[in-house]
């Protein structure tokens, strides 16, 4: 995808353009990074959700070069993948409370992070089938 394509305004008013949507995935990575580490190191985790639209607006992702956003997203997720590989299996059942959502496990948060990312990547890449998110079998 070219810089010009990624910079096009969103089709619907109030929606994110491509750069903003990838930026949202960076925000998700940053928020989940903290959750993964804190739940692993300190036991039960309780922390805030985050205001997605405000984070995207504040970061000004639509003003950054597309190549910079791609590289940052790629590198951050390689870093997180390495982190997740190092999380001991016995901590995956650690209870996590995020915002007003009911308690979930660390394992669920990790899986949910990947599913959320896949949903957005399917959309960004214009795939015919977009991964459903949130999962229909889980009430959050």
Domain range summary for the chain, segments of one domain joined by +: 15-124
Q: In what order do the strands lie in the sheet with 104-105?
A: 45-47, 95-98, 104-105
> pLDDT for 64-119, tens place per residue?
999 999 999 999 999 999 999 999 999 999 999 999 999 999 999 999 999 999 99
Top-tier CATH class for 15-124 = mainly alpha
pLDDT at 8 over 90: yes
> pLDDT for 12-49, tens place per residue?
998 999 999 999 999 999 999 999 999 999 999 999 99
Across 54-67, average pLDDT: 97
């Amino acid at each position: 995808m070219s810089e010009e394509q990624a910079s096009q305004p969103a089709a619907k008013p109030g929606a994110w353009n491509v750069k903003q949507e990838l930026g949202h995935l960076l925000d998700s990575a940053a928020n989940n990074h903290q959750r993964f580490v804190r739940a692993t190191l300190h036991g039960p985790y309780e922390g805030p959700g985050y205001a997605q639209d405000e984070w995207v607006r504040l970061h000004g992702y639509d003003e950054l070069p597309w190549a910079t956003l791609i590289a940052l997203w790629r590198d951050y997720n390689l870093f997180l993948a390495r982190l997740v590989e190092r999380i001991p299996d016995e901590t995956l059942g650690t209870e996590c409370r995020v915002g007003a959502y009911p308690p979930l496990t660390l394992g669920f948060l990790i899986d949910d992070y990947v599913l959320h990312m896949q949903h957005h990547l399917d959309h960004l890449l214009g795939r015919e089938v977009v991964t459903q998110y949130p999962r229909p079998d889980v009430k959050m």
